[in-house]
Amino acid sequence: MIVYCCHDLIFATKIHSTAEALGLVCRPARDEAALLARLDCVDDGKAHGKVAAVIVDLTMGEAGLRLIGLAKGHTSSPQVIAFAPHVEVRSLRAAEGLGADRVMPRGAFAAQLPQLLQACSTAGQPLPGPDDGSNAH
């Protein structure tokens, strides 16, 4: 399962609909409690299971950075992808410092979303690499 943490309705819808089109289970987590429930595979009556990846929108501010720390510190060890507008250099660097597996400008994230979701859903498959220009910020 892929979990996304995003307050921007347009991007949340884009992530969810792209995952759905690829046949992937994708669930939102709007705060730390929801993310922890997803990581702990809490049965809430909806699709649940081991979280392969957590996607974090860094425009959530400090809350987004806390979500990265929570995901990276969890025993389930999901991959973490963080994205933000390219001008949010401080947030992008902070996400790298917290150990996010991929940190990307929003445009690159949107352009590569299907490939990223597909890679996240395949156990052990590395995320598309930085040679694709996505780590430029």
Give the SS3 label for residue 43: coil
Q: How many domains does the chain fold into?
A: 1
Judge residue 96's burial from the number of C-beta atoms within 10 Å of its C-beta, 0-12 exposed, 13-18 middle, 19 or more buried: middle
Q: How confident is the model at residue 43 (pLDDT cuts 50, 70, 90)?
A: low
pLDDT score of 56 more than 70: yes
Rg, the chain, Cα only? 13
Tell me what the mean pLDDT of segment 87-115 comes to.
95
Is position 136 within any domain?
no
The reported pTM is 0.86
H or E segment and range at residue 64: helix 62-73
Asked if residue 25 lies in contact with residue 116, where contact means CB atoms within 8 angstroms, the answer is no
The residue range of the domain holding 64 is 2-124
Is position 92 within any domain?
yes
d(CA 118, CA 32): 25
Q: What is the pLDDT of residue 130?
A: 53
Q: What is the mean pLDDT of the chain?
A: 87
Is position 40 within any domain?
yes
What's the CATH number where 88 sits?
Answer: 3.40.50.2300
Is position 131 within any domain?
no
Is position 134 within any domain?
no
Is position 132 within any domain?
no
